[in-house]
């Protein structure tokens, strides 16, 4: 019977990532490159560097097969050694996507990421929705809509974006507060300058703008 382990409310002893967006300066000791459809942007921190302290039945660090649930509801299922991810294991994200990898003492040796709809991320040759083929994955699988009917996102119909916010792929971003909340309005993270600029430059916003020449009336 494999144990189901959850983090306690107190996470102060866990090393904190700079954010769950792009870590440009220093890769965390255990980070998962959780890509968006335009490329890798968000390392999801998955630290298991401390012993499990919340179960009276366990007096030592986790070993063998286990299910490990992080405070973000991300779930790890696989092998562990000395309280760290070690061997084959999979991270299941709340969005429905997953990261299957081989780990060594909490570090990724190799792995691959699969989006919730089944699209697999290819770090070497990623050409999804680029200048040569701008189809979304649902359009590739189900075909294009008739002329004159545009599909704005891979999800059709698209999510309604709150006023003044952006859809950054795993939630809505408010540029005023610099906070990303998931689609159920739960706090995810504070965006740093790099992620803020990336979202403003590339993500769908909740309002319309004139981007071409507007004739004088």
Taking only the tens place, the pLDDT of each residue in 87-130 is 999 999 988 899 999 999 999 999 999 988 888 998 888 887 77
**Number of domains present in the structure of the chain:** 2
Element (H, E) at 98: strand 98-104
Q: Sorting pLDDT into bands at 50, 70 and 90, what band is 164?
A: very high
User: Which range scores top for mean pLDDT: 19-33, 89-103, 117-131, 197-211?
Assistant: 89-103
Question: Does 66 or 215 have the greater pLDDT score?
Answer: 66
Per-residue pLDDT at 29 exceeds 70: no
Question: Does 38 or 144 have the greater pLDDT score?
Answer: 144
In angstroms, rounded to a whole number, what is the distance separating the alpha carbons of residues 54 and 58?
8
Residue range(s) defining the domain that contains residue 172: 159-205
Average pLDDT value for residue range 182-206: 92
pLDDT for 166-177, tens place per residue?
999 889 999 999
pLDDT for 143-162, tens place per residue?
888 888 888 888 888 889 99
State the residue for tokens 């459809």. 37
Coil, strand or helix at 201: helix
In angstroms, rounded to a whole number, what is the distance separating the alpha carbons of residues 103 and 35?
19
Per-residue pLDDT at 42 exceeds 70: no
- What pLDDT score was predicted for residue 91? 95
Q: Is residue 196 part of a domain?
A: yes
Per-residue pLDDT at 165 exceeds 60: yes
Could you say which of 114, 139, 169 is where a domain stops?
Answer: 114
Strand order in the sheet with 84-92: 4-6, 64-69, 75-81, 84-92, 98-104, 107-114
- What pLDDT score was predicted for residue 41? 42
Are residues 187 and 102 part of one domain? no
Q: Is residue 151 part of a domain?
A: no
Are residues 21 and 103 part of one domain? yes
Are residues 84 and 173 part of one domain? no
Q: Is residue 21 part of a domain?
A: yes
Q: Sorting pLDDT into bands at 50, 70 and 90, what band is 194?
A: very high
Q: Is residue 141 part of a domain?
A: no
- What pLDDT score was predicted for residue 161? 94
Write phi, then psi, for 24 (nearest 5 degrees): -80, -35
In angstroms, rounded to a whole number, what is the distance separating the alpha carbons of residues 87 and 40?
24
Average pLDDT value for residue range 179-202: 92
Could you say which of 61, 91, 114 is where a domain stops?
Answer: 114
Q: Within 13 Å, how many C-alpha atoms sit on residue 180's CB side? A: 21
Among residues 15, 17, 35, 36, which one has the least CA distance to residue 25?
A: 17
Are residues 109 and 16 part of one domain? yes
Q: Is residue 52 part of a domain?
A: yes
Per-residue pLDDT at 206 exceeds 60: yes
In angstroms, rounded to a whole number, what is the distance separating the alpha carbons of residues 194 and 199?
9
pTM: 0.55
Are residues 14 and 107 part of one domain? yes
Are residues 8 and 110 part of one domain? yes
Average pLDDT value for residue range 179-199: 92
Q: Is residue 124 part of a domain?
A: no
- What pLDDT score was predicted for residue 214? 63
Are residues 23 and 105 part of one domain? yes
- What pLDDT score was predicted for residue 23? 29
Q: Is residue 103 part of a domain?
A: yes
In angstroms, rounded to a whole number, what is the distance separating the alpha carbons of residues 5 and 64?
13
Could you say which of 57, 91, 114 is where a domain stops?
Answer: 114
Among residues 154, 168, 164, which one has the least CA distance to residue 202?
A: 168
Are residues 18 and 85 part of one domain? yes
Q: Is residue 212 part of a domain?
A: no
């Amino acid at each position: 019977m494999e144990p189901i382990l959850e983090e306690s409310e107190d996470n102060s002893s866990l090393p904190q990532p700079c954010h769950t967006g792009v870590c440009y300066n220093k890769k965390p000791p255990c980070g998962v490159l959780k890509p968006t459809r335009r490329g890798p942007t968000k390392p999801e921190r998955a630290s298991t560097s401390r012993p499990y302290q919340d179960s009276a039945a366990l007096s030592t660090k986790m070993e063998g097969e286990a299910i490990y649930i992080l405070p973000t509801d991300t779930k790890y299922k696989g092998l562990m050694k000395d309280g760290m991810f070690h061997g084959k294991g999979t991270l299941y994200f709340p969005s429905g996507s997953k990261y299957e990898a081989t780990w060594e003492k909490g570090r990724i040796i190799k792995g691959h990421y699969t989006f919730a709809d089944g699209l697999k991320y290819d770090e070497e040759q990623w050409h999804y929705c680029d200048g040569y083929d701008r189809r979304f994955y649902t359009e590739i699988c189900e075909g294009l809509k008739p002329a004159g009917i545009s599909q704005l996102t891979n999800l059709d119909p698209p999510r309604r974006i709150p006023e003044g916010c952006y859809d950054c792929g795993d939630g809505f971003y408010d540029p005023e507060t610099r906070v990303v909340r998931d689609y159920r309005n739960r706090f995810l993270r504070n965006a740093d300058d790099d992620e803020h600029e990336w979202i403003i430059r590339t993500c769908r916003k909740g309002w319309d703008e004139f981007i071409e020449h507007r004739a004088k009336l």
